[in-house]
Amino acid sequence: MNSLPDRAESDVVLVVDDIPDNLSVLHDALDESGYTVLVATSGEAALQRAAQALPDIVLLDAMMPGLDGFEVARRLKAQAHTAHIPIIFMTGLTETEHLVAALDAGGVDYVTKPIKPREVLARMGVHLQGARLARQARNALDAFGYASITVRPADGRLMWQTPLARELLLSYFGTSAPETPAAILEWLRRHLHDAVRQIEPPRLGVERGARRLSIRLHRQTGDDDWLIVMREVSDGAIIESMGLSLKLTLREAEVLYWVVKGKINRDIADILGASPATVKKHLERIFAKLGVETRTAAAGMAMNRIRQLHPNFEG
């Protein structure tokens, strides 16, 4: 069945164990607690189910024949569409090196066998709450036009991305996950030292004609991963919103925008297909409407208004 579980009804849990009795105990306990439960009895099946259903959390047996839990976790974390899913290991091995291996493979927690369903539910609740809040924050970013990605500087992998981020990266850089665009990775690595010290680095700007992508480092999301937020701004959107805000005609707003960008009248005339004299007349009307007398004053007022309306704008 290819349809995804309904997120509106319950959280989806993928339980991976090669022993049917263990699956049965967990399935019943989780089902009674209101979760939607998916099961897999091998590492290969777990990877397929995770890619298909994108569960909210994975309960993963560490020791299985064939593809063991450690390798399953590493592969899930290596894929952008599954890297964000919390993994809780289930293991009968309590030696420190095995527990460290579980966390190194990408697990957020572990429970020891024999499994105690109440303990599993308690651990799941903690990690699901964090994952739910992170998912809501990412969805909110996308809804307001902010795309976000998670990048691991050490190996340059793009670990996670929102749908909007996927479109923007393909459009501006021609890349797709798990590849991080070279310009973004170079910028991230160059400013990583300051970022660790909580000094926000300068934003990275990428232009494609009238379109502009502003990229900023948001925060560290784990030991090695960093959340990067992007927003696209076009000249047209800025000009329109600035004109409405300052009560200018569209052509006056266009002239003022290019004044902000440092263009002289002759350049503006070439851009707009007008004469320098026409641009000068527009500027005189702009000065009167804004109550200023110079290009510098008009540009300063416009820049302040643009930054209020478009915080990512870099003039």
Question: In degrees, to the nearest 5, what angle opens at C-alpha 289 toward C-alphas 284 and 294?
Answer: 50
Q: Does residue 1 register a pLDDT over 60? A: no
pLDDT in tens, 182-196: 999 999 999 988 877
Instruction: Give the fold, CATH level 3, of 144-234.
Output: Beta-Lactamase (3.30.450)
Partnered with residue 269 across adjacent β-strands are: none
Helix/strand/coil for 37 = strand
223: buried, middle or exposed (CB in 10 Å: 19+, 13-18, 0-12)?
exposed
pLDDT for 104 equals: 84
* Element (DSSP H or E) covering residue 259: helix 250-260
Residues in contact with 279: Cβ distance below 8 Å, sequence separation at least 6, in sequence order: 255, 265, 268, 269, 272
Domain 12-138 classification at class level? alpha beta
8 pLDDT tier (thresholds 50, 70, 90): very low
Q: Residue 77 in contact with residue 108, Cβ under 8 Å?
A: no
Arithmetic mean of pLDDT, 243-254: 92
What share of the chain in percent tops pLDDT 70? 90
Domain with CATH 3.40.50.2300 in the chain: 12-138
The model's pLDDT over 122-148, given as tens digits with 9 standing for 90+, comes to: 999 988 887 777 777 666 666 666 788
Q: What is the CATH architecture assignment of 247-309?
A: Orthogonal Bundle (1.10)
The pTM of this model reads 0.53
Side-chain-side CA neighbours of 51 within 13 Å: the count stands at 12
- Provide CATH 1.10.10.10 ranges for the chain: 247-309
User: Which of the four pLDDT bands, split at 50, 70 and 90, describes residue 6?
Assistant: very low
19 Cβ contact partners less than 8 Å away, ≥ 6 residues apart: 61
209 band by pLDDT with thresholds 50, 70 and 90: low
Q: What is the tens place of the pLDDT at every residue in 42-53?
A: 999 999 999 999
| Residue 2 in this model has a pLDDT that exceeds 60 | no
* E-state strands within the chain: 12-16, 36-40, 57-61, 87-91, 109-112, 146-152, 157-161, 204-208, 211-220, 226-234
